[in-house]
Amino acid sequence: MKTRTLGRNGLQVSALGLGCMGMSFGYGGADDAQSVRTLQHAVELGVTHFDTAEVYGPYVNEELVGRALKAVRGQVTIATKFGFRISPHGEGVARMAGVDSRPEHVRTAVEGSLKRLGVETIDLLYQHRVDPQVAIEDTMGAMAELVRAGKVRHLGLSEVSAATLRRAHAVHPIAAVQSEYSLWSRDQENEVLPACAELGVGFVPYSPLGRGFLTGKLSTTQGLAADDYRRTLPRFQDQAMQSNRVLLEALVTLAGRRGCTPAQLALAWLLAQGEQIMPIPGVRQIKHLEENVAAADIVLRTDELAAIRAALPDEKIVGQRYGAKELEMINL
């Protein structure tokens, strides 16, 4: 697979990474044996970048990723995230009890992640969400100390504003910003992506397939597990799904003309938005992994890119990408 570079300090990664959250968290059910096979096959296909976080599970996703990639540690980069206060009570999302980016919490969280991943150094450490009670300069200072100590190689931020990115970057070079970005979530194009280009910061889109919606295979939530996080999101409510499904038909048609799947077309469009962009679609099954990886070889013409963008006008997408509580934690 072709490679891309995140940031100006030479973090080289495969053009497509792999988001590992759904293997343990958020989408209902977990099959660790299947996930291990998928992770290991991803390496065989040329994927070198794997994304996890302490809150996925919580904790168990880091353990899964570390266990699956132990034998190929030298061939891959592993990214993880800190920033949530995790309650000992409840299940899944319910254990996310606010944010915490105090310097002492940063250090404790990283020690836990290193142990669970079974590694000596984290390749890319993200602040998962900005803590409005802690100056970004203080959090970045603690993260920079971990780089100097050899426990972390590169630093990143997730779901931040352009202003916060600039403040953080002034303390220590930022390799990547991770935020939701896809054909049906394009607000990052207004300020954050231009700031990344200006500062030489890579951009890592999560949910690049709209949490499965852009695959064209998800028309209702009826087949989702009872505890699937998507059931709570505004865009996955029945009326919104019906309206957005009408828009999606144009993408399905374009994919048919191109001889690929809607998912592949959506990923190829994202990859064409800039060499600093590395999407991390999440998969659990090998067949979906192979489909996504093939998208890295699709080269789209200028007229095709324009037609794809026009197929899903962002102003016509129905529903917010998060609920009100989650929206309060982004773009800070």
Interval 211-248: pLDDT, tens:
999 999 998 888 899 989 999 999 999 999 999 999 99
Supply the pLDDT for residue 248: 95
Domain 3-327 has CATH 2.60.120.10: no
3-class SS shares of the chain: helix, strand, coil, % to 5? 50, 15, 35
DSSP conformational letter for 202:
E
Interval 11-42: pLDDT, tens:
999 999 999 999 999 998 889 999 999 999 99
- Locate the domains of the chain by residue range: 3-327
Which residues form the catalytic set? 56
Cα distances (Å, whole numbers) of residue 179 to 163, 240, 256: 15, 22, 29
pLDDT at 90 over 90: no
